[in-house]
Every structure is written in C-alpha cells, then in structure tokens.
Chain A
Amino acid sequence: MRRFVIGRAKSLLNRSYQYHCQDQALLRPLAPSHSRFLSSTPGLDSSSTSSASSMAPPVSLDTINPKVLECEYAVRGEIVTLAQRLQDELKAKPGSQPFDEILYCNIGNPQSLGQQPIAFFREVIALCDHPSILDKSETQGLFSADAIERAWQILDQIPGRATGAYSHSQGVKGLRDTIAAGIEARDGFPANPNDIFLTDGASPAVHMMMQLLIRSEKDGMLCPIPQYPLYSASIALHGGSLVPYYLDEATGWGLEISELKKQLEDAKSKGITVRALVVINPGNPTGQVLAEDNQRAIVEFCKQEGLVLLADEVYQENVYVPEKKFHSFKKIARSMGYGEEDICLVSFQSVSKGYYGECGKRGGYMEVTGFSPEVREQIYKVASVNLCSNISGQILASLVMSPPKVGDESYESYSAEKDGILSSLARRAKTLEDAFNNLEGVTCNKAEGAMYLFPRIRLPQKAIKAAEAAKKAPDAFYCQRLLNATGVVVVPGSGFGQVPGTWHFRCTILPQEDKIPAIVSRLTEFHKSFMDEFRD
C-alpha cells in the first residue's frame, strides 16, 4: 500500500512543486504578502474567492457522492427506524403499545436476543485483553486451565504480547497459522496462512473484493436474488453493476446452472463484463444448503467462464438437517482437481454467525486463492489503508477455527454449549417454519441452514392497493403493519430482491425458545386480522 501511496504522493508533490516554481511570479499579484495577510481580516479579502453564502454547502444531499445515495441496505432500513421509535415510546410510556417489547427478528444478532456466548472463547479473550492477571494464582480459580494455556499461546504469537498494538495488516501471523490449520482440518486440503486476510467481520472483506474487482459500471457481479443486501449495497457503492440470477423457490431455493448461463449471456449482450459470481451457502435470506453436485457444477461454471467465485460461507456451522452437510467451495474445487492456477476463489468467514454469534467483536477473515502474487499485493495494499483489523476479533477468529478438542478441560462444557445452541436453533427453525406454513396464503421453505426463514406471502389485491395508496411496497406495508400490531421486526423481501410480483419477508430464527410460542400466536393472530381486513 504505502509504496503505492508514497509514489502517488511523490508524483503529486513533484507536480505541485514544479507549479510552485512556475507560478510564483504569476501568483504574486494575487496573493497578498504574508505579513499583511496575517493582520488583515480575511472576511474582507474575498476578491478572488467566491462567497460561501451563494453556494450549496460542500456536504449536502446535492453535493455528496451519488453512489452513496444510490446504495441501499434494507436490514436496517425504514422498518428498523420505526421499531426504534416504538421502543422509545414503550420506554417512556409502558403500555402505550399493544405489546410490551420489540422483538428484533430483522438481523442475525443472536446475543442481543439472549444467546449466551461460548464461555471458553470469552475466557481466552478476557485473558488476552488483560494479560497481567495471567500469572496470578487467583486467576486459576476463575478461569479454566486450558483457557489460560491458550491465552499464553496466543499472546506468544503476538509481537510484544501486545493486544493493544497494530498487527500486520493481514492479521497476526500466528493466528493466521491457526486458522489455516483449522481450514485444513475442515477440508482435508492444505491452506496457506498467507492467503488469509483477517478483517473486522466479513463485510469489510466483501467491500475489499468489490473494490478490487469493480473498475466501472461495465463490470458486473452475478448475485443471487434474493440476496443479502450487503452485496447490492457494496456493488452500488463501488460503482459496478449487479447481474441478478434468480434462486428457484419451487425447488427449495435451488441454484440452476442454466439460469446462471442465461443471465451471463444476457449481461454480455448488454456490454457488461461479468467478473465474479457470488454464492451464499448456506443461503441468506433463503436458508438453503447447496448439494455437493450443485457445488461442483458451480465450480465448473466459474472455471469455464473465468469468473472469480466469491463464496460467502459465514453460516458454515449453521446446518440443521441431517441429510445436508456443509462443504466449502475450496474443498469441492480441490477435490475436482482444480488448483491455484485453475480458479480464483475467495471464501468469507465471520465470528458473527455459527453457534458463536459474536457479532459485536467484528472478527472475520477471507481466504483468497488463485490470484497472482501481484494482485494479492494489491489486496494487501488496500487492507493496509485501515492498518489492521481489531485484535480481539482476530483472536476470536482463530478460536472459532480451533475450538477446544476432545481431552481439553473445557471440551465438555464447550461442546454442551455448542450442541445446545445448534439444536435449539434447529427446533426454533422448525417451529417457525410450521407456523408460517399454517398461515393463509403463506408458504415457507425448509430452513436447512443459516439463521433465517423467507416465507412467501400471497397478498390480496385490496392489500396491494392499500399499500400503493400508502406509497409503500406491498411487503413493506405488511411488515410495517406487523410491527405496529405485534412488535415483531422483520425485513420486507423487496430489500433482498424477489421475482417481480411475489412478496416475501425475512424473519430470523433467533428469539429465545421460550419466546417462540408467543411470537407464533401473535403472528397468527395478526395475519388473520390482516387477511380479514383485506381479503378480496
């Protein structure tokens, strides 16, 4: 990065310095002498400059970057703003709403809804944050022995043992080694620690890749529809074009290669160079887990078309059905015999999902394979503008890729916590799925993985008309009514994209189990009254 920065700065400097010399004479009549200027009131000296009052301020809606205005992020959009307002009202005047709490089912933020963190991870992070207690004997009474041991190991990997110091911009080398070993254990194929970039959650990693791949609006990214809006927002922010491919709801949100081919050809005919294919597996918001054959076909497609495969694999631990298993795209590609030189593959992982759900830590990584050393150098350069990702997040990313093993002191409690969370999520998914399927005009696919359900609602014409009158998308209208009546926050499907004319919403499966029955009854009651009001 800096090499490039310095080069740029220097060329600017040189240029400017030349001007400096040339323009000395030219400028002298314009610029008042130094001493005079210091003593004069600058307000009087506006002869050569425009007055501020006649112009729009530099930072206003008319003058800011139009790409900023363009991008949208539905997960925290209008509905959430309304929810926050309702929450404030509830706090100020309890009993002012027909419900007593807001249930945020709009965002995959498990710990805000009461999911407990894995104790072992937290022990290690606490010790790394405050290492001076490590050698106190009292600490052994408060922390498990293997957490203390792991904290020592991690601190030894951090230069200066300092979690308060900037690390290598790719992340602490020792932690990347641990992660690479974790990937290798998962896939059975080697991973190189130098391919790993630790980031503040997966989102900055996605931004980084978009920044790298998008050169202009002529560059396209194949994205699933429905998709997690991070992709559409990031593509808009970086000025590229989103090339949609539709997931087939009828086959459980299946990904058809024929659809990919069709959309690719379509984009080509419009003069768009498709650069990459985004696949979210397990799916967000759709919750499907790709079958191994399907994954092979996708890899083959990317290889044939020369596309970069951006694999969003942040839900890799969240698989709830015994007949499906998570396979990383890297494992699939390597098992097909495709190596570094055959396919460019980026895999994103985050500490925010899985059974750990440590969203607030902002930890994550991407594994970048198949790029030339020169390109990787450019990625490193972009990473280094932000110096490094936060160290607690880095440590956590290494912990989730190397959790306690059989025989460790914490193993039993760790695996009990993990299994407890995952099996509870599976039960919640099933309960909510059944509840949605029992509603009039609603169908909901099975949640095989991830943390979401994406039910389809068939809205009566009357409701669609009412929504139009309220200047809202019909699904947004439904979600807003739902929030007002029940306090349940869900995200309208229009934020994720959907086949035109169909309406959906995304609901997380994260509320604690004891709250699920109440949610189901509130939902059912609301839906019934909504349909009664608008039934054609």
Chain B
Amino acid sequence: MACFHSNVLQWNFQIIFTNVGNPHALGQKPLTFPRQVVALCQAPFLLDDPNVGLIFPADAIARAKHYLSLTSGGLGAYSDSRGIPGIRKEVAEFIGRRDGYPSDPELIFLTDGASKGVMQILNTIIRGDGDGVLVPVPQYPLYSAAISLFGGSLVPYYLEETANWGLDINDLRHAVFQARSKGITVRAMVIINPGNPTGQCLSEANLREILHFCYQENLALLGDEVYQQNIYQDERPFISARKVLMDMGPPISKEIQLVSFHTVSKGYWGECGQRGGYFEMTNIPAQTVDEIYKVASISLSPNVPAQIFMGLMVNPPKPGDISYEHLLGRGAMYSFPQIRLPPKAIEAAKKAGKVPDVFYCLKLLEATGISTVPGSGFGQKEGVFHLRTTILPSEEDMPAIMASFKKFNDEFMEEHEDHRGYSRMVFFVSSIQSMGFSEKPQVDSGLELDSKKWVIAGIPLRAPLKPIFTNPVEKESETDECSTTTTTPTSEDARIPTRLTCPPAPKKRKATLKCSYSGVREFFTPPDLETVYIRHVERAK
C-alpha cells in the first residue's frame, strides 16, 4: 500500500479520501466554539489576561471558566476514573432530554473514545471462548478485534440489504441457534444504530423486536449509537435503544441489560483525535457497576480535554448565546453501495490475484484518486460486492467526484462487460434521504444508471471542505511583510528561513484554511484500505 500511495502522489492527483470516517483529515474544519473553550481550558492563564476578549468570545470564556470549576486542578489532573462528575451530569441531562426519561450520572462512564468503552464492557462480559457475542455483518472491525483479543467467540448475524440493512429476527434466532449447537453461550448482542458501514437507522418496531429477542434469549444489548447525531431524514429518525426500552415498560424495561455508547468522534463534531466518549448502563446491578469502575480505575482516568469536548457536545451553545450557530451538519457518514460485477471483471480480478471488489476499488483509486473501502473488509454475503464510501467530501466537490466516479465506472464496465444488459451499480441509499442535493441539476444530470438514480446524501456542511492537495502550492514571496514580525531577538540565524512560514498576513489566511501546505507532507494512510490490499496481495502470492 505504501508504494501504491507514492505512485498516486507522483501522478499529482488530488486524493479524495472517502474511506475512513475521519472528517478532519478530509479538511472538515472543527467547530470553532468547542475549540475556543478547550484552548482556554488548556491555557487558563489567558483567562486573567485583559486582552483575552480580543480573540475569544465572552461565552467561550464563560464556558471555559465553568468547566475549569468542575475539575479539581484543571486539565492537568486525573479526574474521577468515571469522568468529571459535573460533565457526567451534563451527559445525563442530554440523555434525559433526548429520551424523555431521566438518566443517572452514576451509571454514565466517560471513556477515551467509544472503542475504549466497548472494550471495557466486552472484557467484563467475556469469560472465555464459550462466550459468544452477536455482531452484525457487515461490521466495524473493532468488535471482531476486541472479541478475539478477549478470547470470546464472534457470532455473526447478517443485515438484510433488501430491507435497508434492517435486522431480521429470524436471522438472529438462526445465529443464536447455531452458536448454541456449537456449545457457545451467547451472552450479548451488538447493534450499531445508525449503522456503520451501512448508514441505516433502525425503526422503532425493529428495535422493539430486538429488545424482545434479547429478553427471551437473556442477552445484554450493547447499543453502539455513535452516529446518532448524524440524523438526516424525518421519516426514520434516530431512536435510542434506551428510549424504546423505557417505552416498553416493566417487566422488560426493568430487566434487559443495556449499555449504550456515544463518542465525540462522529456526527458533525468529528473530533476523532480527541478520543472522547461515554457509555451509559441500564439495569446493570450496582455491584457489577463497581467492578467496571474498578477496572476503569486501573487506567486512572479518561483524558480530560476530551471530557470537556463531550460536555460541550451534549450542551452546545443555545439560541441567544454569542456563539450560537445553526448546526446544520446532517447526513450519515457512510454509504455502502453494492456493485454488481460482470463475470469478466471477476475473472480479471482473479487473474490479478485480488478479490473482485478490492480489484474494483484499486482501479477506482488509480483512475480517479477516489479512495473507498472494499466490502470484503467488513464481511459480506458471497457473490455480492460492496464498497464503503464516506459521504464527507464537501458539497462543492461532490459533483466532480460523482462525475469522475461515473466515468470510471462506465469505462470499467465497458472494458469488462460482454453485453450491455448488465446492471451496473446501484446505490442503496433509500435510508439516506437526499437533502437538498438532488435538487441540484449538476448532481442529477448524468448520474442515472439503468433507471436507478444515484442519490447521494447531501451534507450541507457548515464550512465547505477543501481537498488535500498533494503538491505544495507555490507560495508568493512575502518576505517584506514577514520580516517586520520576526522580532524574537534571541533566535539563531538558522531559524530565519522557518520564520518565513510564521503567522501569515490577513490575505494569506485563506490559504491556511484551505490546508494548502508548504513542504513535504506526511500522508494519512487509511488503515482499512491498506491492510485489505496487503492481505490480498499476500494471498495472491
């Protein structure tokens, strides 16, 4: 993969990463307000500086003081191992507002990202390889990795593509039955809602069925709800498993054990690098909560800046606050289109020693610079191929991406097709309602394939995303302006060249926002894609 990347670089392409849900790496700008608050908490001495108001708004200052008052010792001190109590209270209030049922802060643990929380809970549940956990397929590799790391057994269930990746209870029963016949005790079930990589929301009826199922089978339900803030359509809104559980009333609502996970990494927040998250436990006995607390305390505490991000996420600026903005970020992050490949293409892939969808993704990357993850990385039914794309590229880039995607697909099919009757590519996006995008003629035109329309979820992002340019952009020389600001008297002579890149003058600011870099860049290597390719290359050998 490494060599593959460098090839791409040499071609001077704009690489458009759509394969990992890592919005900031795609140039999405972080929300300003939370960054202001956290920066102030990081440098609390600024709060005493009379000039702080020049670059920080008053509500950010007030909020920073609020969070500092919740900590004992600021950002540099370990917090309670479960997270700062005041922030857990804010999370509980958020859950209460969302679900209409109060939540207990004592049952909420803040974690270093949702993955840490998932691992903590799985470690508690899994005793050995006789213990199974139901995990959806296609799945996010975290679950299979964590389950095998803790020595448990993964019991897969398939999401039904024909029902918008809905959950078929028959399939679940089938999976549990088979696991039992192999001597596995199924102890817990994972649902990812809204889904990764499929991007669907489960309906309330479906959630009820799932909860009934868990009740009958005596399973703990692990609700991975990290995409809940990517709510983007009205007819199938996100409903938390906890709300449905509470709605169902006793005895079910008093007995089913539920753990829900959330994170600051997803949604319009996309603060992946902060590693903030929480889990909330329902119906877990108090003594077991204590055991989970004990294990959490071995890692001392989750990182404090991310806890503040979490507080800000569940308690964003309100109307009337100076920093209140319409947070319009909507749209699931992933879509999972199916590709139907003609036999000739499958043959060509075999010849190249690659799984067909990997072959397709590679060709796509080579030809267009668009990087996607082949579905075989997530597991899929035999004979069916998918690729995962992240719908994060900015709105203005979308038409161009789609056009080059279509052009590539046409050429690919042309090359490998015997007869033109083949259905080419279908985007299963009915659960992703298009928002504003489909009205735009430049998106609609030319994207109809075999009477199926490409509907791409619109994400009217707050700030347009900028592509990452791989080649350094030529800089205008600005020696004159910069030299006036180079005042550090003690600098060595050798430092002067680096001074040239120091804070640019106002007219250069735009270039900074565009993330156009000077100098050599390290590239973010999409981990999914990389390993998939290496694996298949190895296999070919």
A contacts, CB < 8 Å to B: 1-10, 12-13, 16-17, 19-20, 23, 27, 30-32, 34, 37-38, 42-43, 45-46, 48-53, 55, 57-61, 63-66, 68-69, 71-73, 75-76, 107, 109-115, 117, 119, 122-123, 125-127, 129-130, 132-143, 145-146, 148-149, 152-153, 156-157, 159-169, 172-174, 200-201, 203-204, 207, 211, 230, 233-234, 237, 352, 356-362, 382, 384-393, 407-409
Contact = CB atoms under 8 A, between A and B. Distances in A.
A61 B285 contact: yes
A139 B502 contact: no
Given A73-B298, A110-B77, 6 more contacts: A42-B212, A59-B188, A115-B73, A359-B78, A386-B115, A389-B112
Band of interface residues on B: 35 or more
Contacts of B126: 65
B194 interface: no
Contacts of A42: 169, 209, 212-213, 216
Contacts of B113: 386-387
Contact of A12 (B79, B156, B212, B509): B156
Contacts, number: 401
10 contacts: A27-B174, A52-B215, A64-B288, A68-B124, A132-B29, A135-B506, A160-B24, A169-B527, A386-B112, A387-B115
A209 to B, nearest CB: 14
B403 to A, nearest CB: 25
Given A3-B534, A19-B178, A167-B273, A159 B521 contact: yes
Interface in B23-47: 23-27, 29-30, 32, 35-36, 38-40, 42-46
Interface in B518-541: 519, 521-525, 527-528, 530-532, 534-535
Contacts of A34: 168, 170
Nearest to A132: B32
A39 B492 CA distance: 78
B22 interface: yes
B148 interface: yes
B119 interface: yes
Contact of A59 (B119, B275, B288, B506): B288
**Residue from the set B23, B187, B527 with the largest chain A CB neighbour count within 10 Å:** B527
A60 B124 CA distance: 10
A13 B157 CA distance: 9
B5 to A, nearest CB: 12
A122 B297 CA distance: 26
B161 interface: no
Contacts of A390: 112, 273-275, 303, 305-306
Contact of B381 (A17, A165, A234, A386): A17
Given A73-B297, A135-B503, A362-B303, A130 B527 contact: no
B214 to A, nearest CB: 9
Nearest to A147: B43
Contacts of A145: 487-488
Nearest to B295: A68
A360 B76 contact: yes
> For chain A, what secondary structure do more than half of its interface residues adopt (helix, strand, loop), or is it mixed?
helix
A112 B512 CA distance: 37
Given A9-B139, A68-B124, A159-B522, A165 B75 contact: no
Interface stretch (B50-58, B223-231, B330-338, B394-402): B50-58
Contacts of B382: 17
B217 to A, nearest CB: 6
Given A111-B76, A361-B303, A129 B49 contact: no
A69 B125 CA distance: 11
A15 to B, nearest CB: 9
A448 B322 CA distance: 52
B468 A382 contact: no
B156 to A, nearest CB: 5
A129 B38 contact: yes
A181 B357 CA distance: 42
Given A55-B218, A133-B55, A23 B300 contact: no
B376 interface: yes
Nearest to B378: A9
A111 B74 contact: yes
A160 B288 contact: no
